[in-house]
Amino acid sequence: MTNDRLLLHLKERALNKLALMVLGMHRSGTSATSGMLSLCGFDLGRSVMGGNWANPKGFYENLLITDFNEDLLHYLHVNWHNTLGLHGEWWKLEQIDLYKGKLWKIIQKDFPDSDLLLFKDPRLCVLLPLYITVLKELNINFSFILTSRHPVDIAKSLLERDSFIETKSYNLWMDYMLKAENYSRGHSRLVVNYDEILREPLRILSKINKIFSLNLTITNELNVQITNFIEPQLNHSRCENLPINSAASEIMHLFDLFQKLIESQVTQEIEKEFDWSFNKFYSFYTRQRFPKITILTKVNENTENLEKTILSVTTQDYPDLEFIIIKETSRDEINSVLAKNAYLISQIIDMTCSGIESVQELQKKSSHGDWIGILENNDTFLNSQALSVFINFHSLKEEMVRADEITDHNNFSLLKYDYFINM
């Protein structure tokens, strides 16, 4: 079936369908919200992700949607924890039409008979324009629920799960939440607070039912199921004992703005404040000030402390960082460590089945950074701010810049992309 015929077919089947999209930063309560809605009859599709130690109740995400989002971020040369590398109106690029077609097919395959579709993945915050475009083309109605959680809570949770320092988590929270608000503005939406979901899930559900005119039948049995599902004790990262000024004023200002959206109607004054925060934040994080950096690490039989090396890169708070691992071994111990940390790594290339003999050739083909750094086996950055501090205090005017002082082994350089590929 051609794309035009497929689109027409899907449009005909989309009458009276509603896609409810749960937006929010990672660790902000999107799973709890999505799980509650799934109990009410919203369809997550046929391919639903299970839980793990970090989310024992389940993620309540569609695997095909999540994999699609990861694939799209990879195509755009970013990953979920380095989305500040997304610049401009990427969703209008002609090459993105391929991903529109992929999303159509996912909706057709995994939600064939659904009238109440439920999309949940924190990555939706930064990829929302593509989803809005596709849902409009398919004539599927859509609404948004934005979950807001205190940024200090989120930072504590990400520190526990991923070893991210505060500055990295706060910047990521700002990026996700600013884009979620900006991209969803003007559409049907509701902002909910994570703590209120835990304390009063039934009241929040009633509010969702009313705001979106869902006409859900909420029985006593359903009330019991939801009450049993939402367990406040699963919230292990609370900021009750932390001072409010533990985060920067801009971050707390944004959190307060979301509280205003919860407590009152949207006003022009509130929208202007959101626009001010949006413009200030992204005028600072430009590619001119923070060029994209690609870190390449080759993993072979002699690699020790691999996980320490990986975490020293993935926990960097530098805003536009690509991390590529080139694997030259099939050792089970190495594969196990890479599998455990794959969600943090931009790309893992297996030399044993790549069909490319030259590591140098592979490094050149896979790198997308303005600057390239090769981190040797078992080397680590001294701390999570090493790259940010170095870039802030050094003018990158030469083709190769020595940065020995920011790694343990004192053997690290940044090479300009054109210089690197012509070596």
Q: What tens digit of pLDDT does each residue of 206-265 get?
A: 999 999 999 998 899 999 999 999 987 655 555 554 444 444 788 999 999 999 999 877
Residue 142 CA to residue 133 CA, distance in Å, equals 11
Contacts of 57 (CB under 8 A, 6+ apart): 31, 32, 35, 51, 229, 231, 234
Are residues 172 and 319 in contact, defined by beta-carbon separation less than 8 angstroms? Answer: no
pLDDT at 305: 86
pLDDT at 422: 81
pLDDT at 249: 84
Where does 228-342 show beta strands of DSSP type E? Answer: 293-299, 321-327
Residue 375 CA to residue 355 CA, distance in Å, equals 23
Residue 226 CA to residue 231 CA, distance in Å, equals 9
pLDDT at 364: 84
Domains along the chain? 3-284 (3.40.50), 293-421 (3.90.550.10)
Nearest to 27 by CA among 149, 168, 177, 190: 149
Are residues 54 and 151 in contact, defined by beta-carbon separation less than 8 angstroms? Answer: no
pLDDT at 208: 95
pLDDT at 356: 56
User: Is residue 201 pLDDT above 80, yes or no?
Assistant: yes
Bridge-partner residues for 372, per DSSP? 294, 415
Q: What tens digit of pLDDT does each residue of 12-46 get?
A: 555 579 999 999 999 999 999 999 999 999 999 99
pLDDT at 376: 85
Instruction: Calculate the CA 102 to chain-centre distance.
Output: 19
The residue count for the chain = 423
Are residues 18 and 116 in contact, defined by beta-carbon separation less than 8 angstroms? Answer: yes
Residue 45 CA to residue 106 CA, distance in Å, equals 9
pLDDT at 320: 96
CA distances from 286 to 108, 196, 319, 396, 418 (A): 38, 36, 10, 15, 20
User: Is residue 358 pLDDT above 90, yes or no?
Assistant: no
Contacts of 137 (CB under 8 A, 6+ apart): 7, 11, 100
**Helix, strand, coil % (nearest 5) of the chain?**
50, 15, 35
User: Is residue 7 pLDDT above 70, yes or no?
Assistant: no
Q: What tens digit of pLDDT does each residue of 387-408 get?
A: 999 998 887 888 999 998 999 9
pLDDT at 244: 45
Relative to beta strand 293-299, strand 371-374 is parallel
Q: What tens digit of pLDDT does each residue of 134-190 get?
A: 999 999 999 999 999 999 999 999 999 999 999 999 999 999 999 999 999 999 999
Q: What sign does the dihedral 102-103-104-107 (CA atoms) show?
A: positive
Looking at residue 385, its amino acid is: Q
